[in-house]
Amino acid sequence: MEYLPICLRLQAVNVLLVGGGKVATRKARLLLRAGAYLTVVAPEVSAELAVLLEQHKGLWLQSRYASEHIKGQSLVIAATPDKAVNAQVHQDAGALGLPVNVVDTPELCSFIFPAIVDRSPLLVAVSSSGHSPVLARKVRRDIEALLPAASGRLAEFAGRMRPLINERIHEEGPRRLFLEEMVDGAVAELVLAGREAEAEKLMREQLADLATLKQGEVYLIGAGPGDPDLMTFKAARLLQRADVVLYDRLVNPAIVDMARRDAERVYVGKRRADHAVPQQDINRQLLELAQQGKRVARLKGGDPFIFGRGGEEIELLFQHHIPFQVVPGITAASGAACYAGIPLTHRDYAQSVRFVAGYLKGNEVRHDWSEFLSETETLVFYMGLVGLGEICTQLQTHGRALETPVALVEQATLPTQKTLVGTLATIEAIVAEAKPQAPTLIIVGNVVRLHRELAWFAEEG
């Protein structure tokens, strides 16, 4: 380890910055945000730096650097293009035993600036020990994508609650376990959602009866149409927290693999005429696992509230007072349409869109087909592959033109995606020849005409 990461408290601390250009301005932003009393020595400063100094009552000494400038300072940064000046600053600071940073010159630094993820008061610092600042910034961006924007709010909440927790739980071990649950459980989720009053109420209830910490929770997570990159940050975070994962047939295995390595995985998928686990059994499993004190992630393809039967699953949880969260996912219609270059609405073609269940009951797709006749409305049929012929027949019978464009999107958003395009009169034959495999989605309407023009996803078919 070349450097020891240390957080310096700079509020009301005298800091000298030598240089006034773009690099110096970037350093000044950080120093002033940390509350430093900043003195800048430079013949000229950037317009932004001048404004920053004025706003924060900093001092600009409009001159070249001289050794006397360093007196009375506690921290020194050199950010000039002049190597001789930078070397002199390093020498002067070393003589006085002051921490010094010479930008982009690690051999002249006693400390370095890490890349920072700022969720104040929570801070995450990433350093490459000066070897690759670009890599450090890339890692910082990755962390920022995973760390909720409201993490600072959670840190402040934990700080406020700590005296109360210390008063209630005297032993270090149980107190640590309680704090871990607080920042990684239902209380934390309420704080992150901006519901701090509810979070404090729940935390006080847990302190009053520590046995309540054994109660489980269910996360009903929309896994999206397939591409793991389309998962939301919250979905990924809760999936990592779960002790048990129940997942559907339509959930990409790569998404299931995003769960904790030690999490139990339970397949509860269903396909036409083959319900591996009946819906009522899935509902019961969620309840029983939560009652055992486990955190359960229920992964559902697409969005759990759009033909996902999510409402049925949480209804039983609600009846038994089991905490649950619902995380929306990108529904198949949106994912398939976007990747196929078919806008579901378009000023020139469609002013509304309708999502329709397309599966057969008996040998029929049961709908009031007279409602589906508008040429300015896009129809999206879920689960309609087997019922495609019936769908086309009913739309034609009730007045839709034979030349109405139709697209069938197979394996939407995945590398294996294919889009088959035809009309109400031709699409059934096209599909019969291509033999696509579920999951598929059917889009009916004039917006399909834009497929070849707007499709960006490389696909066959």
Q: Please tell me the distance from the alpha carbon of residue 332 to that of residue 393, in angstroms, as a whole number.
A: 24
pLDDT at 458: 46
H-assigned helices in 193-309: 196-208, 233-241, 253-256, 279-291
pLDDT at 185: 82
Ramachandran sector of residue 413 (left: φ over 0; alpha: ψ -120 to 50; beta: rest): left
Question: 419 Cβ partners below 8 Å, 6+ apart?
Answer: 340, 407, 408, 409, 410, 451, 455, 459, 461
Q: Please tell me the distance from the alpha carbon of residue 428 to that of residue 385, in angstroms, as a whole number.
A: 10
The count of other CB atoms within 10 Å of the CB of residue 207 is 18
User: Is the separation of the CB atoms in 5 and 127 below 8 Å?
Assistant: yes
pLDDT at 178: 85
What pLDDT digit, counting tens, does each position of 277-302 carry?
Answer: 888 999 999 999 999 888 899 999 99
Q: Tokens 């579901």 identify what position? A: 344
Query: In Å, how far from its chain's centre is CA 56?
Result: 34
Choice among 227, 248, 294, 418 that is catalytic: 248
Q: Please tell me the distance from the alpha carbon of residue 414 to that of residue 440, in angstroms, as a whole number.
A: 12
Type and span of the H or E element at 29: helix 22-33
| Residue set of the binding site for NAD(+) | 22-23, 43-44
Q: Is the dihedral of CA 195, 196, 200, 206 positive or negative?
A: positive
Q: Please tell me the distance from the alpha carbon of residue 48 to that of residue 57, in angstroms, as a whole number.
A: 14
Q: What topology does CATH give the domain 333-454?
A: 3.30.950
Enumerate the domain spans of the chain. Answer: 14-113, 215-330, 333-454
Say whether 248 is catalytic: yes
Q: Please tell me the distance from the alpha carbon of residue 425 to that of residue 211, in angstroms, as a whole number.
A: 64
CA separation (Å) from 368 to 372, 380, 427?
A: 8, 15, 22
What's the chain's length in residues?
461
Residue 133's Cβ-count burial label (10 Å; 0-12, 13-18, 19+) is middle
Say whether 71 is catalytic: no
Question: What are 324's strand-pairing partners?
Answer: 218
Q: Which residues of the chain are modeled with pLDDT < 50?
A: 458, 460-461
The count of other CB atoms within 10 Å of the CB of residue 107 is 7
pLDDT at 454: 78
pLDDT at 184: 81
Q: What would the two tokens of residue 272 be? A: 């036409």
Listed residue (140, 77, 147) closest to 112, CA to CA: 77
Q: Give 14-113's CATH code, choosing from 3.40.718.10, 3.40.50.2020, 3.20.20.450, 3.40.50.720.
A: 3.40.50.720
Q: Which residues of 268-295 are buried (b: 16+ CB within 10 A; e: fewer)?
A: bebeeeeeebeeeebbebbbebbeeebb
Does the domain formed by 215-330 have CATH 3.40.50.20? no
User: Is the separation of the CB atoms in 39 and 59 below 8 Å?
Assistant: yes
pLDDT at 460: 45
Beta strand 418-423 pairing with 440-444: unpaired
pLDDT at 48: 96
Beta strand 352-357 pairing with 405-410: unpaired
pLDDT at 386: 92
Question: 245 Cβ partners below 8 Å, 6+ apart?
Answer: 239, 256, 259, 263, 264, 265, 266, 296, 297, 299
What pLDDT digit, counting tens, does each position of 195-237 carry?
Answer: 999 999 999 988 888 765 566 889 999 999 999 999 998 999 8
| Residue set of the binding site | 22-23, 43-44, 225, 301-303, 306, 331-332, 383, 412
pLDDT at 461: 41
